[in-house]
Structure 1
Amino acid sequence: MKTRSKFATTTAAVVVALTVGLVPASAADERAADAPASEQVELDLSAEAAAIARDTGVPVSEVEQALLNVDRIDATHRLARTLLGGAFAGFWTEPATARMSVAAAGGVPPAVQARLVAVSEGLDLTFVAAVHPLRDLEAVVRVLPDDLGWHQAGVDPVANAVALEAHPGRGAQVAVEVAARFPNIPFTVNESEPVELAQLVPDTCVSRRNCTPVARGGVEIFFGPETTGPRPVCSSGFTGVRDGAHVVYTAGHCQGANVRVSHAGVTWGTMLVSRFSGDTDGAVFSQVAPWQPSNMAYWNDNVKTHRITARRVTADQYVGEASCKLGRTTGNTCGTITAVNRDIIVGGTLLTGQTFTNACALPGDSGGSVLRTSTAQGIVSGARFHFDEAGGAVCPRQAADRLMSYTPIRRIEARVGGVVRTTAP
């Protein structure tokens, strides 16, 4: 157990785009180059740990330690929020590890420290004396006018401050205006260029682009009628049940309601409800024959039958938590949660209460699965990327420079209806 009172902090630039793409209809038929079908096996913990270590640079032994102890980490997080009440100032782990920190305004009382140490059962636990409780900082974020020149706002629990991303050249102005309105609240302001919606033209389950007839998350989906022109393309997120019928979740910005959804030239269903506003970027579409229900997701070409068995509670998410993404463009990429409950302006739309990770995502990955092991965390919304000399979208090489945003899955369920399937049909 360790105690400390302050941290040095940095704020990374945020450049985010919606990760829907446009793909020529002919591209849907270019499946000969896809990876061949291989033996379908279940994903084990060591495979997930290896993927997270690959994308974050954290030693695989430390990632495995964090994954093995998720129950103790979650229990410590929940108990800290309960015992500290209004004084709670934040909880985080060092990325993809089991080393936890709990912050409270004025410090964590010794009696609370003892309870948390007992629950953590020997894991590395640090207590931090903060100045401002989390709820006070979040209250400031909720009332920030969106015309001040910022495109992302949230709370940085490590810095115990409101963190803002401003449009280039507006940082100083934003800092002055925020300081005038909230003189007693600490904040950081960083300048970055937001990216608008990127338009790109680039079981017999063979690949993410040819995977029928068992429904699953993490595969390619098209919208609209069959055509020779470009069509919007996204990814499926999770299968579910809504009003007694089989459904699939994806991102709301991908397409509106009453639009046909297809995969590999086969009609999958019709968009039922789509929401891209407020605190939600989520949608749900129907599932018709010949598609068959499942609780599976396409992890990679060797594991096409990874089963989803739980849904993450939004309030239980924390900075440093492991998180992976499954999508049609970049496949399986992993990272850790870097921010929770963040507001962001993306594609000209303000979304509140979003979660950020440093996993790689590109256009076409929108709507894909975000998960930790077999637990559904959310649906891919936006990402930071840039274009190479050939005009192709690429992710930043360093994990510290990557950003992917998602809406938590429990909120999407509440806003568009239904529930993610966590058992085999």
Structure 2
Amino acid sequence: MRSTRARRAAMIGSAALLLLAPAFAHAEPATAPADSPASALPEDLVAAVQRDLGLTADEYLAKAEAGQKLVAFARDMRDRFPDVFAGAWLDQSGKPLVGVAPGQDADAAREAARDAGYTVKDLPRSERTLEHQLAKAEDWIAALPQPLSGLVGGAAVDVVNNHLVLRVSDTVELGGFQVPDFLQGAVVALQPALGSVAPPVVDNGGAPADAMFGGDSYAAENAEGAFRCSLGFNGTDGSGSTVNISAGHCDPNHGAPGVTDVFQMPSNGVFGPHIGTFAKSSLDGLDFSIIDIDDAVAYRFQNNLVRVPGKSPLRITGTADPVVGAPVCKSGLTTGFTCGTINAVNQSVAVGPRVLRGGFSANICALQGDSGGTIVTGDRALGISSASNVADMQFCEVAAVVTTIVGESPQLFASPINSILAANPGLKVRTS
């Protein structure tokens, strides 16, 4: 049986939806004072934050915290002023902004935002108006006949510029691309088809020497072959059993009946011990999987740690929601920690025959094998890595010139962890 798996190792491929991240030289990270919250961040994450975001560790944590405070305030504004609230985001300097559209409650909404210390930006359309337009766009896309359906890759609300963006294939002639009247005014953006995306441990975070963390490598195998992916967040299901939350497309069965075995994979093509099976996989809508960890090795996953494989870990303290402008970092077996900024939330995007909904994207490059890995903001769990617009490229230096919704940058698409938890009552991420 083991020799059969060894032969199958030659068939190992990274699942088709993986993320991509830049492989630039590491800068020497600045050391945070011992009493600073940033001192708890692993040096690999600090180096990625400095390299990719130009932030110190303390600035990264502060900006992430500001993003979560803005999420909470936006939720309140959405409830109090649904007809005029026009979204909230962090600008490039990290300053929180709150949009207000014309309407009966506009003055009250502006006053509430300013009283809370936020800068107000007057915008022509409310969040509710744009989301209604997004829903109509998604219905239109779903009803398109072939070959048109293969040319439109999804839609998103651009909260900063207060309009809808349609993503279309980069083979489309924009001058001849017609959209229905109700989508007039939407921006049409060209985009390539999305593809899927062990040195000794320095510090094991107090976990057992053979513990498995978010970002570590695993192989998912069925009778047809195997995919190599990255572990997501360690957690527990509704019965208290030990699980890991990763990407649904990492399951070779693609959600169909049948058993997919999960093995530790210390290096490409090398199978380690059996660690579990897929209990649930979702590919449409949210892209996630729940890996049921074998009882015999459950102790290896009973931690709240995320890392670059083989390096010092980050402790996850809670969960977070995405907000435009917030800093995020992802960990995966191929590219380790890489960081960027969220540029879209609550969007739909086509990945082959499937559509990811309710996700977010960030200007992060990642490579095949990073799929299923963890995305964090500060030290909180944010999402699961799913897809990339540059998945067919070998180097992030090349990927950096791909045009996307926000300009010249690669894009990582992800499913929010809180949406995954909400869709699976009783499912929890391990936190400290």
- Shorter-chain TM band: 0.7 to 0.9
Indicate if the aligned counterparts of 2:96 and 2:119 stay in contact, CA closer than 8 A: yes
Asked if 1:396 corresponds to 2:389, the answer is: no
* Structural mapping, 1:15-414, within 5 Å: 18-19=17-18, 44=40, 51-57=48-54, 63=60, 65-67=62-64, 69-70=66-67, 72-95=69-92, 97-106=93-102, 109-120=106-117, 125-144=118-137, 145-146=140-141, 147=144, 148=148, 149-170=151-172, 172=174, 175-178=177-180, 180-183=181-184, 186-197=185-196, 205=201, 213-224=210-221, 231-242=226-237, 243-255=239-251, 256=253, 258-263=259-264, 264=266, 265-277=272-284, 279-288=285-294, 289-292=296-299, 293-300=301-308, 304-313=312-321, 317-385=322-390, 396-397=399-400, 400-414=408-422
Q: CA deviation at 1:157?
A: 1.2
* C-alpha contact 2:70 2:89 (8 A) present in aligned 1: no
**What per-residue deviation string (whole Å, max 9, x for no partner) do you get for residues 304-337 of structure 1?**
3322121224xxx210011110111111111111
For residues 255-308 of structure 1, give each alpha carbon's deviation from its aligned partner in whole angstroms, at most 9, with x where no partner exists. Answer: 13521111130111000000101x210010111223413333333468533221
8 Å CA contact 1:195, 1:347 repeated in 2: yes
Q: Which runs of 5+ in 1 are unaligned?
A: 1-16, 22-40, 199-203
Q: Which amino acid aligns with 1:188?
A: V
Q: Check conservation: 1:360, 1:403, Cα contact below 8 A.
A: yes
- C-alpha distance in 1 between matches for 2:109 and 2:225: 58
What letter corresponds to residue 348 of structure 1 in structure 2?
A: P
Q: Structure 1 residue 190: deviation in Å?
A: 1.6
Distance in 2 between the 1:239 and 1:297 partners?
8
Give, in whole Å, the separation in 1 of the partners of 2:46 and 2:333: 21
Question: Given the two structures, how large is their TM-score scaled by the length of structure 2?
Answer: 0.74
The percentage of aligned residue pairs carrying the same residue is 26
Match of 1:420 in 2: 428
Counterparts in 2 of 1:156 and 1:42: CA distance versus 1, 3 Å: closer
CA shift for structure 1 position 366: 0.6
For the residues of structure 2 that align with 1:168 and 1:397, how far apart are their CA atoms?
Answer: 16
CA gap 1:191/1:135 in 2 versus in 1, 3 angstroms: same
Q: CA deviation at 1:213?
A: 3.0
Q: Give the TM-score normalised by the residue count of structure 1.
A: 0.75
The 1:408/1:197 distance shift into structure 2, 3 A limit, reads closer
Q: Aligned with 2:78: secondary structure?
A: helix
Higher percent of residues as strand: 1
In structure 2, list runs of 5 or more residues that go unmatched. Answer: 1-15, 21-36, 267-271, 402-406
Aligned CA distance change for structure 1 residues 303 and 188 (closer, same or farther; 3 Å): same
Distance of 2:176 and 2:382 partners within structure 1? 33
